[in-house]
Amino acid sequence: MRSLIPALRTDRGLSRFQPDLFDRFFEDFWKPAPFAETETWFAPSIDVSETDDNITVKAEIPGMKKEDIDITVSEGILTLSGEKKADHEEKGESYHVRESRYGAFRRSVRLPGEVETDKIDAAYQDGVLTVTVPKGEGAKRKKIEVRG
């Protein structure tokens, strides 16, 4: 049965395998993360919630200026877009780790039902953009009483 386990088949057992695993774990520690060299921020994380009267979209976009954020609504699709500009100069600096993302982003959400586009409200605070979209009368839930 022991011969079926490759690591235990040799005379050295797991002692030869463990240092290799440990070394391989730290081998790539100082290498840049995937996409670290690109200047693209693909899409911010969002939360979409709904009440009887509103649809709320919250997007995490830290480090942005509100002037660099665009919000549009067209044919029932809410689109958040913008660009986070790099604010650093690399004169004489040598980075060990650089995980901050810069560049353009775009995120779209299909809005259910009718909405009142002229009453949409947006606020940006502490790196979170909150967009509140009021529902139209046709999209609001109505409770129907059952007669009997």
Sequence ranges of the domains in the chain:
1-31, 46-87+97-134
pLDDT in tens, 106-132: 999 998 778 888 999 999 999 999 999
Q: How many residues does the chain have?
A: 148
Give one DSSP letter per residue of 80-132, joined into a string.
Answer: EEEEE------SS---S------EEEEEEEEPPS-B-GGG-EEEEETTEEEEE
Residue 3, pLDDT above cutoff 50:
no
* Confidence grade of residue 48 (pLDDT, cut at 50, 70, 90): very high
- Give the CATH class of 46-87+97-134: mainly beta
pTM higher than 0.75: no
Amino acid at 71: I
Q: What percent of the chain has pLDDT over 90?
A: 30
Phi, psi of 32 (to 5 degrees): -65, 150
